[in-house]
A and B are shown apart, each in its own frame.
Chain A
Amino acid sequence: MRSPAERRVFTTEPKALARLYLWLGLVAVVTGTLLSLLMRIHRTWPDLAMPLHGVIKPEDYLALVTMHGTLMVFFVLTVVPQSAFPNLVLPAQIGTRGMALPRLNAAAFWITTTSLLVLLAAFFVPEGAPIAGWTSYPPLSALAGAGPGQATGMDLWLISITLFCLAAVMGSVSILATILTRHAPGMTFGRLPLTVWSWLVSSGLTVIAFTALFIAAGLLLSDRHFGTSFFLPSGLVVNGIPQAAGSGTPMLWLHLFWFFGHPEVYIVVLPGMGLASSILANFTRRPVPGYTMMAVSTLLIGVLGLGVWGHHIFVSGMNPYAGTAFGLTTMAIAIPSSAEVLTWLAMVFRGRLRVNTPLLFVLGFVSFFIAGGLTGPILAQPALDAYLHNTFFVVGHFHLVMSMAGVFSIFAGIYYWYPLLTGRRMNEGLGQIHFWVSLIAAYGTFYPMYLAGLAGEPRHYAQLAGPVESFARLIPVERGITWSAFLLAAAQLVFLFNVFWSARAKVALAGANPWRATTLEWSPEEHPTIENGPYGYGAGMGEREDFRPQWERKKPF
């Protein structure tokens, strides 16, 4: 017999797993944010001695970059929208209880936790964390002698990523099986909420993309320890020492990594796109116009997303005709994305807005998705990318379109679904402060990075350096970025306080369906029958109200 504590920890109950995933995401996001602040401190005051550490050395800076990127991309932006949220609401949204393959689903959480612990351990081994960036290009990542942190630290990074890939695929198989086999009678494909469409596509992408990364990481570990040379050619001389002959090429890693890396961006942002549509429908009290078009766009983004990875390596010496082809596919994927954005803008402008924090964070999500997304078609042109590649222009681009849009959609989800976790709503005033300060500070942090990139400032530089003419102009910009980053981090303290403050027993209960929503996670019954499509909002829709939930029988005529 298991003790109650054991049952609580080794649970297969999806809502309990969602809570555990949220805690894990919190640990990762706090660590990742602190690392980014250290990076900003070093860039602005390079000679400042840090307590317990001293001055941040260039290799320390690269370790911070690597660990910040890895923590945020995998353990925050993937784990929360692709693991925590589906466990929280997916079964309910399709009218079932529990996930298919519950043990596989629960095991995925524990493997993800192990993966996080292995990654964080890299800080505490000799030479510290790896310095090759979150993309870990070989030979830098293949040869222990290529730099500090590239021995044990790099091994731990690779083991962590291998475990994470395994867990991500397991979790996604469970999600796919749940959607395809467990949906309640009446929950047809045409009645799936757009969040479920998103998880259907993002889980399919996860199975494909993370398998590629799993293989790449395995091959790299093999190159490092078993004398293979998948990624290593002949004739290398590292630190004056000739290396063993090989027959591989780093290009193989570049292709495998970005075959994972680009779909990963959609895995991060598709659930947020689905949630944005749902919340906009709710808080404007209107249906999603062109529901079918939105579902098809989601599918198209998933399919096309598998064929655009080459735009990350335009300047790698890849065949220039391939560059042209990848530029074309990338422009193609911008079309369904633009279609979704236009739909959101139309919804915002036509509807009667109920201004609550979930809506505000969705507006923020849309705002960042546009601010970052619009520079995508610029970077998709090989000729222009040949100047902008690996400059701060790219750093600004992906922090806006993936990170800030991703994080704001996560906040929207937490504010929106908080009553499912605690029975209460989060404090609205604190939520609005959190939103406005975060919005302004995030723009202050990431928008100026476009200017730094235009000035020719490359990423991964421990110190500001670049063409002399544009260098001087960047110093005040860099300072502004740092102060904005501090403000952005400080605003999250308001959020953390709100999360715990609003859960107190004193706070009034929110009731069964506090947002007057139509989707099934708000249904008071455990086994509702599904009668309607997902977005029955509008005057005269319900019997007494302006909405008709998916579980409510139609008005008799």
Chain B
Amino acid sequence: MHWLPPNGALRGVALDHLLGWNLTIVFWLFVAAQVLLVLALVRRWAGRSGAKAGDETHSRARYLFLHVVPLLGIVGLYLWMLVTSHGLWAARRESGVAAQAIQVEVTGVQFVWYFRYPGRDGVYGATKPTLVSAPTGNPLGLDANDPHTADDVVSSILVLPAGQPVEITLRTQDVIHGFFVPGMRLKQDAIPGMTGHLEFTPETPGDYVILCSQVCGLGHYRMQAQMRVVMPEQFNAWMATREGAAK
């Protein structure tokens, strides 16, 4: 499991634990099967063969032992996998978002991620595709006529306070992008025309890389951004300066 990047999310611990068990069981099943295959060859080379003529006599018992029992074991394993991981999936995706969750809108654009906070009013201002203009500093096409827009904070780095639930509203302007934060064990596609929702709680302060996990064009590999998890007071101070700048 040391191949995984360090986990910084609340539910990442449970996921790592479960993934570790899954990988361990599957790896040893793999080894056992390969050993069986190699043993069969070695036995052959050593001049011994497994079967003698007439060993069809107890074939029913043998069949049960060699096929049905292992198959039942494997079915049990699959059931265990389904049940354990469903708890995690349900907690992540099938439940509502905490009321106090911090709101951030993530927008994918070939080949950049933009992050928008709704500001003091807690409402995202309106956007219009016709207003989108990265060169003039309005990459999201914010509509200045909407009163909710004035206090919106647009950032190219995702700053979040440690220990607070976050609700991501996921959008894209052009093609499908994949919002992937390995350190948060988080992934969801941004689908054009749809708004995605994703909830998680960052726990450990530090810098985490945000990647794009769905091929989106020639710059796909460099569509990266930074997630910075800080202590709540640092977050509030950062937000205050950005909100001040927005006015």
Contacts and interface: CB of A to CB of B under 8 A. Distances in A.
Interface residues of B, number: 93
A391 to B, nearest CB: 7
B132 A240 contact: yes
A525 to B, nearest CB: 30
B136 to A, nearest CB: 11
Interface in A306-342: 313, 315-317, 320-321, 323-324, 327-328, 331, 334-335, 338-339, 341-342
B191 A249 contact: yes
Interface stretch (A22-30, A47-55, A108-116, A231-239): A231-239
Contacts of B56: 538
B138 to A, nearest CB: 11
Interface in A35-85: 57-59, 62, 65
Interface string B33-68: 110110111011100011101111001000100110
Contact of A146 (B110, B209, B222): B110
Contact of B3 (A250, A316, A454): A454
A140 B176 contact: yes
Interface in A374-402: 374-375, 377-378, 380-384, 386-387, 389-391
B219 interface: yes
A251 interface: yes
Nearest to A546: B53
A495 to B, nearest CB: 21
Given A382-B89, A390-B213, A467 B189 contact: no
Interface residues of A, number: 100
A349 interface: yes
A133 interface: yes
Contacts of A235: 129, 192-193
A540 B55 CA distance: 13
Contacts of B88: 383
Interface stretch (B75-83, B112-120, B142-150): B75-83
A250 to B, nearest CB: 6
A324 B89 contact: yes
Contact of A463 (B51, B55, B221): B221
Interface string A430-464: 00000000000000000000010011101111110
Contacts of B40: 348-349, 353
Contacts of B39: 349
B67 A251 contact: no
A1 interface: no
B26 interface: yes
A355 interface: yes
Interface of A: 57-59, 62, 65, 131-133, 137-140, 143, 146-148, 232-240, 242, 248-251, 286, 289-290, 293, 313, 315-317, 320-321, 323-324, 327-328, 331, 334-335, 338-339, 341-343, 345-346, 348-353, 355, 363, 366-367, 370-371, 374-375, 377-378, 380-384, 386-387, 389-391, 451, 454-456, 458-463, 465-470, 473, 538-540
Given A390-B178, A461-B220, 20 more contacts: A62-B218, A140-B176, A140-B216, A146-B174, A250-B176, A250-B192, A290-B63, A315-B189, A324-B94, A327-B85, A327-B89, A339-B67, A342-B71, A381-B86, A383-B85, A383-B89, A456-B182, A459-B215, A538-B53, A539-B54
Interface of B: 1, 3-6, 15, 18-19, 22-23, 26, 29-30, 33-34, 36-37, 39-41, 43-45, 49-51, 53-56, 59, 63, 66-67, 70-71, 74-75, 77-79, 81-82, 85-86, 88-90, 92-94, 109-110, 129-130, 132-134, 141, 170, 173-176, 178, 180, 182-183, 185-189, 191-194, 196, 208-209, 211-222, 224
